[in-house]
Structure 1
Amino acid sequence: MTVLDTRALNRATLARQLLLDRADLPVLDAVAHLCGLQAQEPQEPFAGLWSRLRAFDPSTLSDLLTGRDVVRVHLMRRTVHLVTADDALAWRARHDSMLRQKTFGAYRRELDGMDLDELAAAGWAVMADGEPRSMTELARALAERWPAVPPRPLGEILIAALIPVVQLPPRGLWRTKGGVRNVPLSSWLGREIDAPPSDGSDPVGQALVRRYLAAFGPAATADLRAWCGLTGLPGAVAAVREELISFRDERGRELLDLPDAPRPDPGTPAPVRFLPAFDNAILGYHDRGRIIDDAHRGLSVAGERVVLVDGRVAATWTVKDATVIVTPLRDLSRTDRTAVAEEGEALAAFLSDNESHRIQIAASPS
């Protein structure tokens, strides 16, 4: 069986994630291809798409949100993702059990002994009027019935798990601040959530396997599970296995992939790319060694924005006073610093509507 080394996996990841060459895809198609974007920080998807698409206009993504073509929902790993409306409806029921388990697990002590189905029914009754509500407002509406449960766990189990909701604009619009206001997903989109098949088959799970590999492969089943947070996928993998090809990584893990998916030559040059906080190009794997060193793995869950140099995490970045500030994690060559500066200047211009091209690169660590 062919072994793919770390660099080969890196270049495949960059190609699938639209980070090797910026794509000409429409924004909606890019969101679909990427299986959504991590969006717990509302402005981060804009930088993520700017790094992936040519001539990206942030107003287009805002229009897709207000036009209900994309939505902000709790899905993969119980985190807020920006996904297409079609994917939200198709995937939400498949994530239901995971969302319940993870949210209940986070508040096991506070929610111990509660009948979650009863709580869900009560929450649905409150939300039935169609009025947008914050998590706190929903919890307060039910506080008299469950007075012993603190508002935070009561509201979060409802909003993140029991009631499929969407976070309404202006939350998530370009350069717009807005609190989280929720309405049921089905009422916002005017369509019901796809129900699981009655015959016990798992077409959604099988589609997730294919979609994940198209955007993240080649990958192990542990990587797939780490990306979505779902258990119970071995059956879906087994059902599509005949469609797939296999490799091994340098650790001996079996990697699955779509036969015709891009696997560029490992020597393909990789441009500098600025990634937003919690980008799935890093979080979408159990073994993240293809793109980030173990010594820096904690950055991927700490909300640090990172810079890819030669395809790997080599620096962090932030913005202050319209200046992009880059902090290297390792020594950068003069050529690399020049490439980082050029891409950082372009990012500063994007973030400031061409009012600033300022970038500051700190000294490399000694």
Structure 2
Amino acid sequence: MQIKDILTIVALCLLGLVGPVWGAEVRGSAGCVSCHDKDDLPDMSGTAHAEAPTTKPPMADAAAALAKRAMGDSSNPRSSTCVDCHGPSEAHSDDSADDSSKTKERAPPDVTFGKVFGKVSTIPAAQRSRVCESCHDKDAKRALWLGSQHQAADIACDSCHQVHTPRDKVLKKITQTEMCYACHKEQRAQMNKPSRHPVPEGKMGCTDCHNVHGSAGAKLTKRNGTNDTCYTCHAEKRGPFVRQHDPVAEDCSNCHNSHGSVVPGMLKVRAPMLCQQCHTPHTAGGVGAVGGQSGVYGLAAPGQTTALITATTGGKNVVNLWQGRSCMNCHTQVHGSNNPSTTNATPQRLMR
């Protein structure tokens, strides 16, 4: 080697652009897996971080190092992937004392991650999440994380995600709900009611309707509103209709409990009681409407709807309730209709 080349290397070392190879310590993934082998960590080779379609998946070198150790290859690759998330962790990797025993008391890494809702780690949730955000801040699904309900509640990414295992529960619908139910116990009870979405069967997951990383809509809905989220599956309810049902156009949750109900159709209350929260029951005068609109029936109401209207019933029709009838026996198109009824002289709404 010529003296010119030697001087160039020395100059670069002084500038901090390169390090002397002969003085390099085994750090990064290679240094980590010298202690943390497959006895400590699940197989990382099948994780999204090890196989992500990027130029440098953050765990690829660590997974390769573990694989080489398993095959008896001691030439672990040098990589900084572990320290990208856990920090340099100089105190943790200090080998000045005898480290032949894995039980030797060591300082923890600079950044530690809790396995279950951040209870293990003492690092603030915001700091742990910032590690993930250094890569995962370019995805539209996570663009609204800051200020979201979960972020405001001091939930960190590792509160739900497990990154060292290929079996991250939140990534599969059949196991995803286990993580959500740990906090959302009321929704767990509702999901076990007879009228519900097929979530317990694994055909749907919480993330089919919710964007847990943040949303412009209320309640972390995937779309900007409850209705738009429901319309992704229930497109036939979208309209527009000639005769619009205002509560439906406003919010599906006015009538439905999307997590589950004891009433068919996931209705909050059985009809006709549900309808009567807005509409007064039919009376002899036919006035039963919201905001002064005319009632469903005209002044000449059919006899069967007025037969039991007496002073003892307060002037209200109770025959439908007594006979187990529902408003939807006649008003079959409660989400909106384009055609008037053909059974009444005066065109009526939401009947066909």
TM-score (norm 1): 0.20
Structure showing the higher strand proportion among its residues: 1
TM-score (norm 2): 0.20
Structure showing the higher helix proportion among its residues: 1
Higher Cα radius of gyration: 2
